[in-house]
Structure 1
Amino acid sequence: MFYYIDEGTDYTVTYSANTKVGTVEVTITGTGSYTGEIKSSFDILPAKQQIQKLETRFKGFFIDWAQKGSATGYEIEYSTNADFKDSTVKKLTANKPDTLTISGLTAGNKYYVRVRSYTNVGEKVYYGAWSDSKNVTAAKYDITKSAISGISTKTYTGKNITQSVKVKYNGKTLKSGTDYTVSYSNNKKVGTATVKITGKGQYGGTVSKTFKINPAKQKIQKLTAKSKAFFIDWAQKGSATGYEVQYATNSKFTGAKKLDVANNKTDKMTISKLSANKKYYVKVRSYTLVKGTKYYGEWSAVKSVTTKK
């Protein structure tokens, strides 16, 4: 006859170090009507890995997997066989980085790829489960050798800025979505944005290009004459760090004077101590300071005003 006994009444269970990868000792100790103890153990293994990105490269591939804080390192296995027969294993002995580019493979061949984490505890190595395998075909052509055009300086709009990217390889115009993909970073705010062209299909590799996003063109909203002075009101730009106001007595702005308005909330001012009954040409532009670099918007359309006595 078998009897069911209750934890806490008839026995207690204690564990040693059961929150980390390694071997956990379990001790079951009798209490009440029961005496003695039983010892056992079990292993805590690293979590199953996950391939986050697998991209073709010229005669190779690029892999990005989930970084595991508990890992000592990783193993990347690849083969031309789905069952990983005759595979090659690349072992990384640090938990950073969590990306790898494999090169020197056969162009046009399909490769099956998987990755797993491992953790060293003392002299024992604990391996996590292999990730689900994915496959990629090693590219025949190197997109880094292509000619990239259609990238130019843009103006801030408050929305993500894109480019009309064109890619040619040995004179052949490649097709977006079929031969390559385009992605962007830092392409919404004023500053320097990056466009990344990643090969696809028969084309492998990546090419990154940068472009500037400048503040939007300024606009003079009001320009009125005053005694030996003029009043100017321009459009306030939320993306601006400040503004520059330039004025001269000739339309070519020869010998012009320039005022730096470092407060972006100041969008109007009176410029005085000028000559009476004199015609002045005026323009204004915004600028944005990003990591020590000034990005200038276009000058507004030029307007003129004649001062009063």
Structure 2
Amino acid sequence: MKNNKRLLALFLVLIMILGMQFSYPVQSEAASNVKVTLSDSSYEYTGKACKPKVKVRYKGKKLSSKNYTVKYASGRKKVGKYSVKIKLKGKYSGSKTVYFTINPQKTEIQDIQAEKEGFSLNWTKVNKQLSGYQIAYSKNKDFSDKNTFYIGKVNSYIVKGLEGGSNYYVKIRTYAEVKGKKYYSEWSDVKTVTTIKVYRFRSDYYLKQHYDKHGKSMGFASAEEYEAAASDVVLNPESLHKTEKEDGDDCYYLEATNDFVVVSTDGYIRTYFRPDSGKSYFDKQ
């Protein structure tokens, strides 16, 4: 009798051990071992619903769709972030959620023009799912020192206050703000522009001195207006140009208005007036 009880106890223990051995492999594999990838992690807005394809792997092995279910977030048409939930089944259990984004449409720069110490540009207007545009410009081709700023729903802009006579790289992209988060399009193709240099007097003191001496009698209402006109003479392609014999300064003469400007070798306006003898004064320099 005692032997029978012992045999029964051993049998029950054996059944428990075998049950544990066979049940654990069939039970769930850890979801952390499962890798989920989407065919596309981002889309450009088209107004149509986006539905990326799903691939699920466990330790590098591709799982059959029989081992999981896929649930997409509703909508998936407007700019924003959307979830894709994968729920494992069969000998796997657990779930994973991955995300994809829909970004606003891309734009392209249509035209860019040099301005005085700046540039103007216009671009293709995007009409839907848009908050505005972001413009970036830099002196470096890789945009390592870029300046960026945001503007509203327009399709042209003038950037001012840059270094005159310098080359700049420029690009633009759209953005849409959804629930406090900005979503961006891809950057446009890069355009280049060389800003127009503006010539100035070396200091306000010299500007005032020459304005009082010449500018007022020339009819300019302010020293700033006088200085700007002098710079325009230098930049005018119709102005005659020569190097001064005495000290190598640059002389400019616009015969149509009898305007004469001298620019120092380091790029500052030295004087601006209208000589009584006209072009002969320029010729003597």
Task: Measure the CA separation in 1 of the matches of 2:32 and 2:139.
Answer: 52
Structure 1 residue aligned with 2:159: 271
- Contact 1:148–1:165 (CA under 8 A) maintained in structure 2: no
- Which of 252, 261, 272 aligns to 2:142? It is 252
- Contact 2:103–2:185 (CA under 8 A) maintained in structure 1: yes
Alignment of 1:144-293 (within 5 A): 144=31, 146-151=33-38, 153-158=41-46, 159-169=48-58, 171-176=60-65, 178-185=66-73, 186-199=75-88, 205-237=94-126, 238-261=128-151, 263=152, 265-293=153-181
User: Which has a greater percent of strand?
Assistant: 1
Task: Measure the CA separation in 2 of the matches of 1:280 and 1:209.
Answer: 40
Q: What stretches of structure 2 of length at least 5 have no aligned partner? A: 1-22, 197-234, 236-285
Task: Measure the CA separation in 1 of the matches of 2:30 and 2:110.
Answer: 49
TM-score normalized with structure 1 length: 0.47
1:291 to partner: Cα distance: 1.0
SS class of match (1:150): strand
1:304 to partner: Cα distance: 0.2
Task: Measure the CA separation in 1 of the matches of 2:148 and 2:122.
Answer: 16
Task: Measure the CA separation in 2 of the matches of 1:187 and 1:144.
Answer: 26
SS class of match (2:170): strand
**CA 1:201–1:301: 2 relative to 1, 3 Å:** same
Structure 2 residue aligned with 1:304: 192
Q: What stretches of structure 1 of length at least 5 have no aligned partner? A: 1-106, 108-138
Task: Measure the CA separation in 2 of the matches of 1:160 and 1:213.
Answer: 10
After superposition, what is the alpha-carbon deviation per residue over 1:111-163, rounded to whole angstroms, capped at 9, x for unaligned?
Answer: xxxxxxxxxxxxxxxxxxxxxxxxxxxx9646835512323630323232233
Task: Measure the CA separation in 2 of the matches of 1:188 and 1:182.
Answer: 18
TM-score normalized with structure 2 length: 0.50
Larger radius of gyration: 2
Task: Measure the CA separation in 2 of the matches of 1:156 and 1:248.
Answer: 26
- Contact 2:41–2:99 (CA under 8 A) maintained in structure 1: no
Alignment of 1:100-111 (within 5 A): none
**CA 1:203–1:253: 2 relative to 1, 3 Å:** closer
User: Which has a greater percent of helix?
Assistant: 2
